[in-house]
C-alpha cells in the first residue's frame, strides 16, 4: 500500500521536475530578448545588458534553471517580473487565492448537486428525473462552460437582474452578496464535471445495487435505507476519485471563466503576462497550475487504489 502511494508520488514529482525544466527552456527559447519588450524597440545595448544581468539572463541556462528551481522549492520565490521588476510570488499568490475561492465554490456546488442527482437517478431509475439528468449530462459535457457563463450573464444579470452585472462583489460588502456574485462563475466552472459526476454516480450506484452483497443485505432484512448505504459506500469510491480530478480541471478552466466574469485571479495574471511578454510570470503561473493538475490526478489515483479494501489488499499481494 505505502509502496503504491510512494510510487505514485515519486512519479508525480519526476513529472513536475521535467515539466519545470520544459517550461523554463520553452520560455528561454523564445526569440528576442525580454528586454526589448520591457523597454521598447529602441532599447540600447547597454540597457539590454543591464536588464539581462539584473534578471540573471546572462548566465548559462542550466545554472539559471537551478537558481530558479531552488528558489521556487526552498523559498517559494519565483523571481521577478520582467515587466514590472517586482517579485512575482506575492502577486501570483494573491491571484491564486482568488481562483482558489472560485474553485472551492465551484467544486462544492458540483459535488453538492451532482451526487444527490446521481443517487436519485439511480434509485428512481427510468423515472422523469433520470431522463432529465441524462439530458442534462449530455448538454453539460458538451456546452462550453464559458459560453454558459456568457449566457448566464446575459439572462441572469442583464435581463433578470438577479445577479451583479459587473464582476465580483468583494467580501467587504457582505459575505452573502460576495458568495452570491460568485454563483454564476462557480456554476459555469462546475457544469462539466457536474454532468460527468452525476451520471457516474448513477451508474456506479446502479451497479452496486445489483451486486450480491446487496441481495444478501436485503435477504437479511436490512432496512432499505441501510441497504442504500451499503451500496453507496462502494459506489462512491470511483466518484471520489474522479472528483479529485475535477479540481485540477477547474483550475485550468478558470483561466477562461475568470475572463468572462472579470475575476482577478490567475487568469488575469497569466493572460496579461502572456500579452506583455512577461515570461517569468508566465512560467510561474503555468508551473503552479500544472502542479495542481498533476497533484490532483495523483490524489485521484491514490484514492482509487486505497479506498477499496479489496483492491488495496490485492495490490498488497
Partner 1 sequence: MHCATFLTRAVRPGASSYDTMNRHLLDVEQLRVGFAIKGRTLEIIRGISFHLGHQEAIGLVGESGSGKSLTASAIIQLVSFPGRILGGRIHFEGKDLVPLPRKEVNRIRGAEISMVFQDPSTSLNPVFSIGTQLMDVIRAHQGVGRDAAVEIAVGILESVGIAHAKARLRSYPHELSGGMRQRIIIGMAVACRPKLLILDEPTSALDVTVQAQVVKLIRRLQDEQGFSILLITHNLDLAADICDRVIVMYAGEIVEDAPVQSLFAAPRHPYTRALLDCVPRLATVARGFDSIPGQPPAAGARIVGCAFAERCSLAFERCRHERPQPRQVDRYHRAACLLSANNLVVAGDAAGA
Partner 2 sequence: MNQSDIAGALPAPLGQRCSTAFFRLVGTPLGAVATIVVVAVTTLALLAPLIAPYDPVGISLDQKLLPPSLHHLMGTDQAGRDVFSRVLWGGRISLSISVLAAAIGVFCGVVLGVLAGFYGGSLLDHLIMRFMDFLASIPLLVWAIAMVGAIGVGPVNLGVVSIGNEGKIILLVGFLYTPSIARVAYGAALVEAQADYVRARRVQGAGSLTLMFDEILPNCLSPLIVQATIYISIGIVVEASLSFVGLGVQPPTASWGAMLSDAFNYVLSGEWWLPFFPGLAISISVIGINLLGDALRDLLDPRGQAGRVIV
Q: What track of x and - describes contact with partner 1 for positions 235 through 264 (by CB under 8 A)?
A: --x---------------------------
Distance CA 206, CA 119 (A): 9
Determine, following the binding rule CB under 8 A, whether residue 212 of this chain makes contact with partner 1. Answer: yes
Contact with partner 1 (CB under 8 A) among 67, 226, 252, 272? 226
Residues within the interface to partner 2 (CB under 8 A):
11-12, 15, 18-19, 23, 26-27, 30, 137-139, 141-144, 146-147, 150-151, 153-154, 157-158, 165-166, 195-196, 199-200, 202-203, 248-249, 251-253, 255-256, 259-260, 270-271, 274-275, 279, 282, 286, 289-290, 293-294, 297
DSSP 8-state assignment for residue 80? B
Please, what is the minimum distance in Å from the beta carbon of residue 197 to partner 1?
20
Contact with partner 1 (CB under 8 A) among 2, 159, 219, 275? 219
What is the number of alpha carbons within 13 Å of residue 138 lying toward its C-beta?
Answer: 5
Residues 6+ apart with CB under 8 A from 28: 61, 64
Backbone φ, ψ for residue 80 (5° rounding)? -115, 145
Residues 6+ apart with CB under 8 A from 136: 195, 198
Backbone φ, ψ for residue 87 (5° rounding)? -60, 140
Closer to partner 2 by Cβ: residue 214 or 245: 245
Q: What track of x and - describes contact with partner 1 for positions 88 through 127 (by CB under 8 A)?
A: ----------------------------------------
Closer to partner 1 by Cβ: residue 104 or 303: 303
Distance CA 15, CA 21 (A): 10
Please, what is the minimum distance in Å from the beta carbon of residue 217 to partner 2?
25
Please, what is the minimum distance in Å from the beta carbon of residue 310 to partner 1?
4
Closer to partner 2 by Cβ: residue 165 or 314: 165
Residue 297, Cβ neighbours under 10 Å: how many? Answer: 19
Q: What track of x and - describes contact with partner 1 for positions 165 through 204 (by CB under 8 A)?
A: ----------------------------------------
Q: What's the angle, vertex CA 306, arms to CA 305 and CA 309, rounded to 5?
A: 105
Determine, following the binding rule CB under 8 A, whether residue 218 of this chain makes contact with partner 1. Answer: yes
What are the grid coordinates assigned to 168, written together?
465580483
Is the distance from CB of 137 to CB of 196 less than 8 angstroms? yes
Helix ranges (DSSP H) in 75-87: none
Instruction: Using CB atoms within 10 Å of the CB of residue 175, give its burial: 0 to 12 exposed, 13 to 18 middle, 19+ buried.
Output: exposed
Binding site for partner 1 (CB under 8 A): 210-213, 215-224, 226, 230, 233-234, 237, 307-310, 313-314
Amino acid at each position: 500500500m505505502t509502496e503504491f502511494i510512494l510510487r505514485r508520488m515519486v512519479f508525480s514529482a519526476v513529472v513536475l521536475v521535467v515539466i519545470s525544466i520544459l517550461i523554463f527552456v520553452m520560455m528561454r527559447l523564445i526569440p528576442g530578448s525580454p528586454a526589448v519588450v520591457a523597454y521598447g524597440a529602441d532599447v540600447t545595448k547597454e540597457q539590454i545588458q543591464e536588464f539581462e544581468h539584473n534578471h540573471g539572463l546572462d548566465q548559462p541556462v542550466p545554472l539559471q534553471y537551478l537558481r530558479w528551481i531552488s528558489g521556487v522549492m526552498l523559498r517559494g520565490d519565483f523571481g521577478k517580473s520582467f515587466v514590472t521588476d517586482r517579485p512575482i510570488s506575492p502577486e501570483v499568490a494573491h491571484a491564486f487565492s482568488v481562483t482558489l475561492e472560485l474553485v472551492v465554490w465551484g467544486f462544492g456546488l458540483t459535488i453538492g448537486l451532482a451526487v444527490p442527482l446521481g443517487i436519485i437517478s439511480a434509485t428512481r431509475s427510468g423515472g422523469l428525473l433520470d431522463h432529465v439528468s441524462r439530458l442534462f449530462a449530455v448538454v453539460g459535457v458538451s456546452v462550453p462552460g464559458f459560453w454558459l457563463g456568457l449566457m448566464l450573464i446575459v439572462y441572469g444579470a442583464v435581463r433578470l437582474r438577479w445577479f451583479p452585472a459587473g464582476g465580483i462583489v468583494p467580501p467587504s460588502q457582505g459575505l452573502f452578496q460576495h458568495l452570491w456574485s460568485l454563483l454564476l462563475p462557480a456554476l459555469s466552472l462546475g457544469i462539466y464535471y457536474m454532468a460527468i459526476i452525476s451520471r457516474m454516480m448513477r451508474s456506479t450506484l446502479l451497479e452496486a445495487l445489483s451486486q450480491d452483497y446487496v441481495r444478501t443485505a436485503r435477504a437479511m432484512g436490512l432496512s432499505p435505507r441501510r441497504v442504500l448505504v451499503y451500496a453507496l459506500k462502494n459506489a462512491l469510491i470511483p466518484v471520489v476519485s474522479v472528483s479529485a480530478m475535477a479540481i485540477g480541471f477547474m483550475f485550468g478552466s478558470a483561466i477562461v471563466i475568470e475572463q468572462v466574469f472579470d475575476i482577478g485571479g490567475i487568469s488575469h495574471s497569466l493572460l496579461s503576462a502572456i500579452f506583455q511578454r512577461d515570461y517569468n510570470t508566465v512560467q510561474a503561473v503555468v508551473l503552479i497550475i500544472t502542479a495542481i493538475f498533476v497533484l490532483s490526478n495523483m490524489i485521484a489515483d491514490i484514492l482509487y487504489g486505497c479506498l477499496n479494501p479489496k483492491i488495496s489488499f490485492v495490490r498488497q499481494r
